[in-house]
């Protein structure tokens, strides 16, 4: 699709110290939308993956983990390894899962575990820019980029690196880091690097490169690949992520950052993650109890329902996606992204603010470096919230009426 960018000066706002996960103040009803605003607040601004809970509830005790009070008392797991706090069983489960799915090469690679992929992102920035130089290394990503990249990059005010905005407009000399999210968050598109210069280094964020979201078209084989437990299986609360790293020196530096930042990663969480990732690999060989089959079916059903609601009016539109052959499932399949990149086609200038009036909380396009007529809404929440969202959106369309649709949207 055609990427829309704002024709305004790209001055980064001051870092907000308000939690992005705090519930916002409910919008006030001005008396004209009483029916639409009488229900609960619908929070779709975060990718909280509770939609997968019914599958894991059905598993029962198969993934039950028992931890005695004397277990995991040491900081250390294996001091002979680069990542000395990585549990052996988790490393084995990660490698097995990637072999099963075929989405990333792990042979002759280092696995670095982190407290979610957010910590690993910071560790990667440190590893690729230390010991530093006369100027901070510029960090860029193509619009629409993941909304947290600017804040996470600038949060520590590091002298090693700084956020430099859109990769499409980046023209500064010197070394740079480019963040490539595949498939992309927020719009679900599969894309590659943009700047393509010899003095740059790439970080591939593959949080959503799993069969429930997108066809696995090839085995990813990049220098640094970031993954997260939360989006692969839905277990966000365990706070586990991992990086697949080619270069030993980079893996050592990433490990050092995590050592100084948190003295390792919770061994209890790693133990649980290993059990669940192992169960996912095992279930992939089964019919009926296949987690990825369940996840793909859930996401496909939600996207079908969403598109059906959107098709009743020309007020909103969604991106189109092409079918591709998935090497994991062995069939042609269409992407079903974790987020919907919703566009407003009439004269509403800021879709995030507009939806807030109807107690629908999405994340506005400006935060992604894009157009305020776009909003990212999560497709990952529980069934009740998702259905309520569709009902309210349908009512909004009936109330507002038809707008003008155009372009690569349906």
Lay out the sheet containing 176-181: strands in order across. Answer: 110-114, 241-245, 224-228, 200-205, 176-181, 137-141, 161-166
Distance from the first to the final alpha carbon of the chain: 11
> Percentages helix, strand, coil for the chain, rounded to the nearest 5?
35, 15, 50
Query: How far from chain centre, in Å, is Cα 124?
Result: 17
Measured CA to CA, the distance from residue 232 to residue 228 in angstroms comes to 6
Listed in sequence order, the DSSP H helices in 159-224 are none
Both tokens assigned to 130: 């230390």
76 to 115, 242, 264: CA distances (angstroms): 16, 18, 8
Q: Where are the beta strands (DSSP E) in 44-175?
A: 110-114, 137-141, 161-166
Kindly report, residue by residue over 330-346, the tens digit of the pLDDT: 999 999 999 999 999 99
Q: To 10 degrees, what angle do helices 267-283 and 88-101 make?
A: 30
Kindly report, residue by residue over 195-220, the tens digit of the pLDDT: 999 999 999 999 999 999 999 999 99
Q: Are 127 and 82 in contact (CB under 8 A)?
A: no
Instruction: Compute and round to an integer the Cα radius of gyration of the chain.
Output: 22
Kindly report, residue by residue over 370-383, the tens digit of the pLDDT: 999 999 999 999 99
Torsion of CA 123, 127, 130, 131, to 10 degrees: 110
Residue-wise pLDDT tens for the chain (410 aa)? 333 333 333 444 444 555 555 555 555 554 445 566 678 999 999 999 999 999 999 998 999 999 999 999 999 999 999 999 999 999 999 999 999 999 999 999 999 999 999 999 999 999 999 999 999 999 999 999 999 999 999 999 999 999 999 999 999 999 999 999 999 999 999 999 999 999 999 999 999 999 999 999 999 999 999 999 999 999 999 999 999 999 999 999 999 999 999 999 999 999 999 999 999 999 887 766 799 999 999 999 999 999 999 999 999 999 999 999 999 999 999 999 999 999 999 989 999 999 999 999 999 999 999 999 999 999 999 999 999 999 999 999 988 864 444 444 44
Kindly report, residue by residue over 128-143, the tens digit of the pLDDT: 999 999 999 999 999 9
Q: Which of 289, 303, 379 is nearest to 334 (CA)?
A: 303
The β-bridge relationship of strands 374-378 and 363-364 is: antiparallel
Q: Which of 234, 376, 223 is nearest to 294 (CA)?
A: 234
Domains along the chain with CATH numbers: 40-50+286-393 (3.90.1150.10), 75-278 (3.40.640.10)
| Per-residue DSSP letter, 406 | -
Q: Give the DSSP H or E segment for 355.
A: helix 351-356
Paired with 376 in beta bridges are: 341, 363
Give the three-class secondary structure for 312: coil
Measured CA to CA, the distance from residue 358 to residue 36 in angstroms comes to 6
Evaluated on CA atoms 162, 222, 228, 341, the torsion sign reads: positive
Measured CA to CA, the distance from residue 319 to residue 343 in angstroms comes to 9
């Amino acid at each position: 699709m055609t990427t829309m960018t704002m024709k305004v000066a790209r001055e980064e706002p001051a870092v907000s110290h308000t939690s992005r996960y705090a519930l916002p103040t409910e919008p006030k009803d001005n008396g004209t939308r009483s029916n639409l605003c009488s229900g609960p607040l619908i929070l779709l601004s975060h990718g909280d993956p509770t939609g997968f809970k019914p599958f894991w509830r059905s598993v029962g005790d198969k993934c039950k983990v028992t931890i005695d009070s004397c277990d995991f008392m040491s900081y250390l797991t294996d001091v002979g390894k680069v990542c000395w706090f990585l549990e052996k069983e988790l490393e084995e489960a990660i490698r097995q899962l990637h072999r099963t799915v075929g989405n990333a090469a792990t042979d002759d690679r280092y696995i670095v575990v982190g407290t979610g992929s957010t910590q690993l992102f910071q560790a990667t920035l440190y590893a690729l820019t230390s010991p530093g130089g006369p100027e901070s290394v510029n960090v860029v990503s193509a619009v629409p980029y993941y909304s947290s990249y600017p804040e996470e990059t600038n949060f520590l005010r590091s002298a090693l690196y700084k956020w430099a905005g859109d990769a499409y407009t980046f023209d500064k000399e010197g070394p740079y880091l480019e963040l490539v999210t595949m498939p992309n968050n927020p719009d679900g598109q599969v894309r590659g690097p943009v700047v393509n210069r010899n003095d740059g280094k790439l970080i591939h964020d593959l949080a959503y490169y799993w069969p429930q979201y997108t066809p696995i078209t090839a085995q990813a084989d990049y220098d640094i690949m970031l993954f997260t437990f939360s989006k692969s299986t839905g277990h966000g609360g365990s706070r586990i992520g991992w990086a697949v790293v080619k270069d030993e020196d980079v893996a050592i530096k990433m490990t050092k950052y995590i050592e100084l930042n948190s003295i390792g990663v919770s061994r209890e969480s790693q133990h649980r993650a290993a059990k669940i990732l192992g169960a996912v690999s095992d279930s992939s060989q089964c019919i009926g109890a296949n987690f990825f089959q369940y996840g793909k079916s859930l996401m496909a059903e939600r996207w079908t329902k969403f598109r059906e609601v959107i098709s009743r009016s020309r007020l909103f539109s969604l991106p189109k996606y092409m079918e591709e052959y998935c090497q994991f499932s062995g069939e042609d399949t269409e992407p079903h992204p974790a987020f919907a990149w919703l566009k407003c086609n009439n004269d509403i200038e800021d879709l995030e603010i507009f939806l807030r009036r109807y107690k629908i909380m999405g994340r506005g396009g400006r935060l992604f470096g894009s157009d305020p007529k776009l909003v990212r809404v999560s497709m990952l929440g529980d069934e009740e919230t998702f259905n309520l969202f569709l009902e309210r959106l349908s009512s909004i369309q009936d109330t507002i009426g038809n707008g003008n649709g155009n372009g690569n949207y349906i």
